[in-house]
Chains A and B, each alone.
Chain A
C-alpha cells in the first residue's frame, strides 16, 4: 500500500495558488517525496521531488515540514490545464545498488479541479 495519504479531491479557482497536502508520517530519513500528476488517461507526469529542503522548479514548489511527516505541493497560478489527479509518492527503496528510486506505489491521489 501507498505510504502517503492525500485528500481525494480539491477545487481551485483559475489563477489562484493550488496547495495540495500530503501526509507521509512513516517516511524514513533517506526517503524522498515525489509528486506526479496524471491528466485524463495520459501517462503520469513527473512534477518535483525533495528530501528535506523546500524545492522549486518551473512547474511547482514543494514545501516539506521540518519533521518530514507531511508536505505541500504548490501550483502558484493554477490554470485549467492543471486539472488532473496529483499523486504524492514515497517510493519503495531499490533492492539493488544502482541509484534508482525503486518502483512507485501509486495511491488514489488528489483530483484537482481548476475552475474558471
Chain B
C-alpha cells in the first residue's frame, strides 16, 4: 500500500539555525499538509498546499515557516530560524483530490529537537 515517507526521522538542530523537513507524499495525491505535535499535546494543523500554493495556514505558521514543492515528488517544510519551542514531531500528510472527502494519509513524522 502506498505511503507518505518523511526524512529524517530525527533532526537535532541548534537554536537559530534553519532546518528543512522533507516529505514524499503518495504519488497521485495533490493536496499536501503539515501538522505538528509537541510532546504530550494535541496534533496541530500548520498548513495545507494545493496547486503550488498555500491553501490554508494556522496561526502557528508564521513568517518563520515556509513550504515548497521543489520537484514532482518532494514537499518540504522550512523553519528559518528555529526556536526552542519548535521542538516537536512534524507530520506530513497528503490526500487525493479527484473525489471529495478523501482522507488524509500521514507519514510517521520527523522528531525535531532544538538545542
From A105, which residue of chain B is reached at the shortest CB distance?
B45
The answer on a CB contact under 8 Å between A44 and B45 is no
Q: List 6 A-B contacts (CB under 8 A).
A: A43-B4, A43-B106, A98-B30, A99-B98, A104-B104, A106-B43
Interface size class of A (residues with CB under 8 A): 20 to 34
Residue numbers of B with Cβ under 8 A of A are: 4, 30-31, 33, 35, 42-45, 48, 50-51, 55-56, 58, 89, 91, 93, 95, 97-109, 111
Q: Which residues of B contact A49 (CB under 8 A)?
A: 101, 103
If A98-B55, A99-B101, A105-B45 are given as contacts, then 11 extra A-B residue pairs at C-beta distance below 8 Å, sorted by A number, are A41-B111, A43-B91, A44-B93, A44-B106, A49-B101, A98-B50, A98-B97, A99-B97, A100-B55, A101-B102, A102-B56
Q: Which of A49, A101, A103 has the most CB of B within 10 A?
A: A103
Structural contact, A44 and B97, CB atoms closer than 8 A:
no
A72 lies within 8 A of chain B by Cβ: no
Secondary structure type dominating chain A contacts:
loop
Contact with B along A83-109 (1 / 0, CB 8 A): 000010000001110111111111110
If A101-B103, A102-B56 touch, whether A44 touches B43 (CB-CB below 8 Å) is yes
Q: Can you name the residue of chain A whose Cβ is closest to the Cβ of B96? A: A99
Contact with B along A20-50 (1 / 0, CB 8 A): 0000000000001010001001111110010
Task: Please state if B42 and A32 are interface contacts (CB–CB under 8 Å).
Answer: no
Q: Which residues of A have CB within 8 Å of B109?
A: 41-43
Bound-state Cα–Cα, A100 to B95, Å: 7
Task: Across the interface, name the chain A residue whose C-beta is closest to B95.
Answer: A100
CB distance from B80 to the nearest CB of A (A): 22
**How far is B45's CA from A95's CA once the two chains are assembled, in angstroms?**
15
CB contacts (< 8 Å) of A104 on chain B: these are 35, 43, 45, 104
Complex: chain A residue closest to B53, CB-CB: A96
- Interface pair B44/A98, CB less than 8 Å apart: no
Contact residue among A42, A87, A103 (Cβ-Cβ distance under 8 Å from B56): A103
